[in-house]
A and B are shown apart, each in its own frame.
Chain A
Amino acid sequence: MHDVLEKLSRCVEHGKVDRSSAFPPELRGEPGADELCREALAGGVPPQQILSDALVTGMARIGERFARGKAFVPHMLLSARAMTAAMAHLRPFFASGEVRRRGVFVVGTVAGDLHDIGKNIVAMMVEGAGWEVVDLGVDVGAERFLAELEARPGAVVGLSAMLTTTMVNMAKIVADLRVRHPARQILVGGAPLDAEFARSVGASFYSPDPQGAIEHLRSLAA
């Protein structure tokens, strides 16, 4: 593997956005995700390989540490920021079709719920795993998901709920989506949820952490 890709994946894992980023201390003054991604492209590394061998790899490493309780929300946010800085240089290749995404992920926090931290982290992780992400924001009802799915027949749906009260709204949204989309992949997550709840409302998959969702998505795209 290219040395620059290994360095880039480490920057994503540790959340080093660019040369000026103070964190992590051992990489102070070194190039960050921004510079390394440009360097890789200038050096002729195919953008597809940058995505899969550096960005996806780096996000997978931090996601796996998060799932084990060895990394926390601040680390995830830093990594996502570094991944986003690198991803900005790959966007033209998505548009041209030179880099293929694994699929489309339509995500939102359910109606009545205004919490976005968990949803944002999942959205960034999924983007870092090579998917196109359509983030509908917070307080999203079934109608908006249905409208988005009209235009995107293969899209996977992600629903987030932070409150026990809005879990109930999540159940209703899944039921509404199921009328038109009985076989659609619908992933659910959020602090008060568990696998039993996900099954009972008719969701396809639940994970207590973003990495579980990433692995499930990978199995779908394989």
Chain B
Amino acid sequence: MDRIARLRSALGRGVLVGDGATGTELQWLGLGPGACGEAWNLSAPDQVRRVHRRYLAAGAQLLTSNTFGGTPLALARHGLGERAADLNRAGARLAREVAGERAFALGDMGPCGGLLEPHGDVPLPRAAEAFRRQAAALLEGGADAILVETMSDPAEAALAVEAALQAGARLVLATFAFQRVPDGFRTMMGADVAGAVAVALAAGAEGVGANCGTELSLDDYLRLTSELSAAAGSAAVLVQPNAGSPALQAGRAVYPTGPEAFAAAAPRLAAAGARIVGGCCGTGPAHIAAVRAALVGGPGGAALPGPEVPR
């Protein structure tokens, strides 16, 4: 059975452990504030491998490529638009290489790098082309599936999902960044949970969910997960919360939620319907190891989940 079939089967049966933040980990390893993390896929691949290896050792069953800001449009802000294909291919290759047969490699796609028309100045065809080029390079590099994440505009998420499928992706997941409002949760662009999920599913996503977000506590994430599950129907739900909201301590941003508190929420998130639980900003290997212990038990780095591998 190939990896996609095993991933689908695993999602249908239980809970998978995602990885944690990439950006904040690379900053620990010396990436400068505001510098282009994707550039390290070519200039410092050992550091990117190191992040993936730590997550694999912590028990992550999904490794996310270091390509969040990897559309040609987003990379152009760092003067790297022309390097998009190389950086994405290299990023996917690093995740795939470290994952081996012990984890799935997700090709990561964040927002395109501007607001789409009619709200902003990026024409839809231009964004679609940017996502297609990114997705094609990620698949060339060996990504098993594509993760579209941190989306605010459902139209942009739909473009990214469709672009990934057109580029040949066999499985696409899509998650949105929500904030709390008086009547529930909305994205920055005002999309509610049901609306955002419906658009992503209609575009062809097989899994939907939430990551990151503004000022969301783990209790908020629990409510959000219930809403996502209700909206997702039979589709898998994935959630990757932040380790709380950062505070500045001695000149660096510190995330308040430690591994134990983070992991304590994991079984509740799973009970509310999450099929993948990972982490976003401020979560590291210790958070993921604790989530792994709370959800699956046992040490990290188990064999790739699938029907032929008993767990």
Residue ranges of A at the interface with B (Cβ–Cβ < 8 Å): 68-75, 77-78, 111-114, 117, 139, 163-169, 171, 191-192, 194, 196-197, 200-201
Contacts and interface: CB of A to CB of B under 8 A. Distances in A.
Nearest to B183: A69
B115 A117 contact: yes
Nearest to A172: B251
A114 B77 contact: yes
A171 B248 CA distance: 9
Interface stretch (B94-102, B157-165, B185-193): B185-193
Contacts of A165: 23-24, 27, 33-34, 253
B34 A167 contact: no
Interface in B207-242: 214
Interface of A is mostly: helix
Given A77-B120, A164-B253, A197-B248, A72 B34 contact: no
A70 B180 CA distance: 11
Interface residues of B, number: 34
B251 A168 contact: yes
A163 B34 CA distance: 8
Interface in B58-116: 77-78, 115
Contacts of A68: 182
Interface in B250-308: 251-253, 255, 281-282
A11 to B, nearest CB: 17
Given A75-B190, A164-B281, A112 B33 contact: yes
B247 interface: yes
B199 to A, nearest CB: 15
Interface of B: 23-24, 27, 32-35, 77-78, 115, 119-120, 152, 179-183, 186-190, 214, 245-248, 251-253, 255, 281-282
Interface of B is mostly: loop
A73 B190 contact: yes
B263 to A, nearest CB: 22
Given A75-B190, A168-B251, A194 B245 contact: yes
A57 to B, nearest CB: 23
A200 B34 contact: no
B81 to A, nearest CB: 13
B245 A192 contact: yes
A192 B115 contact: no
A167 B181 contact: no
Contact of A164 (B120, B181, B190, B246): B246
A111 B214 contact: no
B33 A77 contact: no
User: Closest 9 A-B residue pairs measured CB to CB?
Assistant: A112-B34, A72-B190, A69-B181, A164-B253, A165-B33, A164-B246, A114-B77, A74-B119, A112-B33
22 contacts: A69-B183, A69-B186, A72-B189, A72-B190, A73-B115, A73-B152, A77-B120, A112-B32, A112-B33, A114-B34, A164-B24, A164-B253, A164-B281, A165-B23, A165-B34, A167-B253, A169-B33, A169-B34, A171-B251, A191-B214, A192-B245, A201-B248
Contact of A73 (B35, B183, B188, B248): B188
